[in-house]
Structure 1
């Protein structure tokens, strides 16, 4: 049986089968969501806010709870789209604003420009560069180091 999930603030809708995770539907809409940890609930790149219909989702598991505790912008209505499975109707989700550093193809091209939106850490969701801030060479170094260390961390967890 299919369920319709509404996405805010874009007013888009996506259709999911019962027991599909939210990530499946959100990825189809090409929004600022990444499956950086391959849907294992270990990063913040699929963090969403549930505006309505929390009761229509599967319960939080231990891994998701642990990851949400580490996300700087998590709220009581936060879920990881890779872990939240749609069980009923009426789910409305909001995608947090910002872009994860791992989604930026050419970090070097940002030098001397102002950040168009917040640039976020892929594990903690912490804002690394605020929207409107001038991006300096030292910020680029920090973003590259973050991307490398996150990549190393996720590679190690895939091996485990």
Structure 2
């Protein structure tokens, strides 16, 4: 089972952590299943950028970006070359290291 290492995020995961995830799940699903409440305002339908993450290690093991995700990422806060929408990034067999950006473009958080 692959491991996702989440770097410290002041609000969502202050100490950072490592979680084991099933291959084939999205990063967003894995985070939520492990009580890391990443924003996902569009309910994981690839219609916003609130679940944006930066993949520090293992980026090339993820599925390819689709055009819709690429277009949306252009609007994400703190975009980097190894950015993904966590609702679209499917975990393969390789371990990952991710960083959840400090901000999103969302002005109001909802209780998901």
TM-score by length of structure 1 reads 0.58
Deviations 1:23-45 (A, max 9, x none): 01111344452221111111111
Question: Please, which runs of 5 or more residues in structure 1 have no aligned partner?
Answer: 106-160
1:27 aligns with 2:32: yes
Moved over 6 A (4+): none
| Larger RCO of the pair (alpha carbons < 8 Å, separation 6+) | 2
After TM superposition, give the deviation of residue 101 of structure 1 in Å: 2.7
Question: Please, which runs of 5 or more residues in structure 2 have no aligned partner?
Answer: 9-14
TM-score by length of structure 2 reads 0.81
Aligned residues: 104
CA RMSD of aligned residues (A): 1.9
Larger-gyration structure (1/2): 1
Of Structure 1 and Structure 2, the greater helix share is in 1
Matches within 5 A, 1:4-153: 4-9=3-8, 10-31=15-36, 33-98=38-103, 100-103=106-109
